[in-house]
Amino acid sequence: MMHKSFPDIVRFSCIILLFSLTSCSKGKTAQPILLLAGSKGFGTYTGEILKAEGFNEFFTDSMKNIKISRSFLARFDLIILAEQTDDLQTWNLFRNYVRGGGNLITFLPGQAHADLFGIEKLPGKISRPYIAIDTSSAEGKSLTGKRIQIHVIAEGFSLKNAKAVAWFCNKSDSDFEFPAVVTNSYGKGHTTAFLYDLPRNIAYTRQGNPESAGIEKDSIPGIRAMDLFTNGWVDTSNNVINQSDEQMALLSHCIEHLNREVKPLPRLWYFPDTLKCLVTLTNDGEFNNENDFESQFRDVDSMGAKMSLYVMETDRVSKQWAEKWTTRGFEISGHPDDTREAPAPVWNNMYKTMSAKIKEINDLYGVTMSTVVNHWFVWCGNNETGDPEFSAQAGIEAKNGLSMDVNYAHYDNNSGQGHFLGSQGSQQGNFTGSGLPMRFAGSSGKIIDIYQHLNNVYDQQYTENHDPEGFYNCFKGLMDRSLNNEVYSFISIKSHNDKYYFSRDPLMKMLAYARNNGIPVWTVAELAEFVRTRDEARFSNILLSGNKMSFDLNSSIMHLSSLTVMIPLNYRENPLKSIECNGKEVTYTKRSVRGYDYALLAVKPGADYSFKIAFDN
């Protein structure tokens, strides 16, 4: 892929920031959404959720960094308050903002502000480990009706004027007592409150239990990321619905519903182009050599697919062979080996192992290593000072400049807790509750600049159970749900070369099934580049006059695949009439996305676009 130089990207970012700030002094901002998130807690992770959901038109700041004023708040159509404050003067400004017609979303409101959200605080916490979405509500339509597991403390409130769109509950409850998500009208504006820490819960669901960091929990030798999902952390019966993604979609619905009378908000589609799924294929080199890999690579290449090879012993793979396959679009990366201390990985040693492998790959192959799978999936669970930290390994990798981690894998054979990650075959889903690549968060909530990509189709899980058909059906089930049921997943297949005797036939069936459905099979590096390209793109200058809207899309990173802009098909019951892009009327496709209708239009990243939208009167 081609990228602009680092100085160009910095210059572009500075221009966008300057434009955002100068726009603030002249009325409405370039971004209609204000995210207020401080340095403490998981508030800034809300921005990762917004980007994953395609709402790339938000401006992030903290109440500690800016002077909150009535005129400042009035510049935004929607405010997401993701940091806590008890300052009465600030809350009075929020009240006035909503009363005058503004929209406000918050997490964990306190009693002093409960009336703004139409609720009343009850004493103490409540023990309800699930939420149930009201699918008859506008915010809950097309979402799951199953109970969704949560991993954070629930706050007890009773309803006064608010309407509940989700409830706290136990797994089998049929009657609900405590609201989990509420909406309310206040003056001319509207509010939505999640009565639990949504961003923290998303991070915990995706990354596991922070209290299990660095502890052997599953009785499978070695500390791995999968140890973080033991002791009932995963309701495995829900793996096929992506519990984390359902909650992120609920937040998206709340945003769409709150803003429906203000202006339509464009979004970016989850996948490249207008695809509904994407596949990556990986191979851990282990102790094999290039002659062993050759036939497998030829098979994969013959199917029009690509593969990432994680080399552990570089003396077994020559530069000439690596260049032959990287020229064809395959990825050569490193497979760091710190298994000598797998029972208790040490931060400093794992860091040195990682750095040494990156240098080794670069020196021998002339390749900049950007993605990683560790031998045995070794996952350091302690930070630089030795304290427990469930994202320490991600921090090590980010500090070494890596862009995507594929160490979370569905492997739980021979565990003392049985198949604690879930069933196999067609009903195997995503035990992280998500099919989307997103950046990691530390236990303090700080964003770590490396993406998490779940290896959800892992050959060894099925090899040891002598189940090639289950290996294929696992893949097919994930793809079918992504294509047909809006359980969207980026699917990652692991096909070890030393297990190719087992995996060849089911793998060829997977690649054929993907090809027949028009789904490409990429390297992890290509996926990492696309996700970063998508996250970097920004909507700005979103203006509405009557039934005409205009906005810009700014993108500075190039990628061979397209970004797809999603534009609501209706505004105040008026259907979309036409779309102009850079002065020319363009065609578009229509698609319902989780109950909301959109026009989809693909554009090439690495350029700026101006859109003009007309709705019928």
Q: Which residue is listed with tokens 């100085």?
A: 7
**Which stretches of 336-399 are DSSP H helices?**
347-365, 392-399
Residue 86 confidence class, pLDDT cut points 50, 70, 90? confident
| 577 vs 596: CA distance, rounded Å | 17
Interval 273-323: pLDDT, tens? 999 999 999 999 999 999 999 999 999 999 999 999 999 999 999 999 999
Cα distances (Å, whole numbers) of residue 24 to 17, 20, 74, 279? 11, 6, 10, 41
What angle do helix axes 290-302 and 319-326 make, rounded to 10 degrees? 10
Higher pLDDT, 261 or 169: 169
CA distance 459 to 550: 49
In 556-575, which positions are buried (b, 16+ CB within 10 angstroms) versus exposed (e)?
Answer: bbebebbbbbbbbbebeeee
**CB neighbours of residue 62 within 10 Å:** 16
Give the pLDDT confidence of 407-416 residue by residue, as tens digits. Answer: 999 999 999 9
Note whether 147 and 169 are within 8 A (CB). Answer: yes
Categorize the per-residue pLDDT at 29 as very low, low, confident or very high, splitting at 50, 70 and 90. low
53 compared with 112, residue with greater pLDDT = 53
Q: Give, in order, the Cα–Cα distances in Å from 586 to each of 158, 545, 575.
A: 49, 21, 16
Type of residue numbered 187 = G
Average pLDDT score, the chain: 93
Identify the sign of the CA torsion 241, 133, 589, 611. Answer: negative
Distance (Å, rounded) from C-alpha 388 to C-alpha 391?
A: 9
Do 407 and 371 meet the contact criterion of CB atoms below 8 Å apart?
A: no
Residues 391-412 have a mean pLDDT of 98
pLDDT of residue 617: 84
Cβ atoms within 10 Å, residue 195: 28
Question: Which residues are 378's β-sheet partners?
Answer: 224
Report the C-alpha gap between 298 and 56 in whole angstroms: 40
Cβ atoms of 450 and 413 closer than 8 Å:
no
Q: In the structure, how many helices (H) and strands (E) does the chain have?
A: 14, 31
d(CA 427, CA 240): 7
d(CA 218, CA 412): 8
For the residues of 183-225, what is the DSSP string, one character each? EEEETTEEEEEESS-HHHHHHHHHH--GGGTT---SSSSS-BG
How many whole angstroms from its chain centre is CA 538? 17
CB contact at 8 A, 220 and 409: no
Q: How do residues 564-601 score in pLDDT, each as one tens digit?
A: 999 999 999 999 999 999 999 999 999 999 999 999 99
List domains and CATH numbers for the chain: 25-268 (3.40.50.880), 283-532 (3.20.20.370), 537-615 (2.60.40)
pLDDT at 15: 38
pLDDT tens for each residue of 486-531: 999 999 999 999 999 999 999 999 999 999 999 999 999 999 999 9
pLDDT of residue 327: 97
Strands 608-615 and 548-554: antiparallel
Nearest Cα residue to 391 out of 441, 446, 351, 434 = 441
pLDDT, tens only, 451-497: 999 999 999 999 999 999 999 999 999 999 999 999 999 999 999 99
Q: Which pLDDT band, with edges at 50, 70 and 90, does 126 fall under?
A: confident
Angle at 565 between CA 561 and CA 571, to 5 degrees: 165
Measured CA to CA, the distance from residue 306 to residue 326 in angstroms comes to 10
Query: What pLDDT score was predicted for residue 30?
Result: 64
Q: Are 90 and 68 in contact (CB under 8 A)?
A: yes
Q: What share of the chain is helix, strand, coil (3-state, %, to 5)?
A: 35, 25, 40
Whether 562 and 533 have beta carbons less than 8 Å apart is answered as: no
- Residue 544 is which amino acid? L
427-437: pLDDT as tens digits: 999 999 999 99
Cα dihedral 121, 175, 145, 231 sign: positive
Residue identified by tokens 């959800």 is: 456
Distance CA 596, CA 141 (A): 9
Name the token pair of 178. Answer: 């405590």
Tell me if 609 sits within 8 A of 562, measured CB to CB.
Answer: no
Task: Over range 213-227, report the average pLDDT.
Answer: 97
Residue 159 backbone phi and psi in degrees, to 5: -80, 140
* Count of other CB atoms within 10 angstroms of residue 603: 19
The 10s digit of each residue's pLDDT in 245-261 is 999 999 999 999 999 98
Question: Among candidates 361, 357, 362, which has minimal Cα distance to 397?
Answer: 357
Q: What angle do CA 65, 67, 68 make, to 5 degrees?
A: 115
> What does the pLDDT read at residue 215?
98
Q: Which helix (H) or strand (E) holds 487?
A: none
Report yes or no on whether pTM surpasses 0.75: yes
In DSSP terms, which residues pair with 333 in a beta bridge?
Answer: 310
In the chain, the largest separation of any two C-alpha atoms, in whole Å, equals: 72
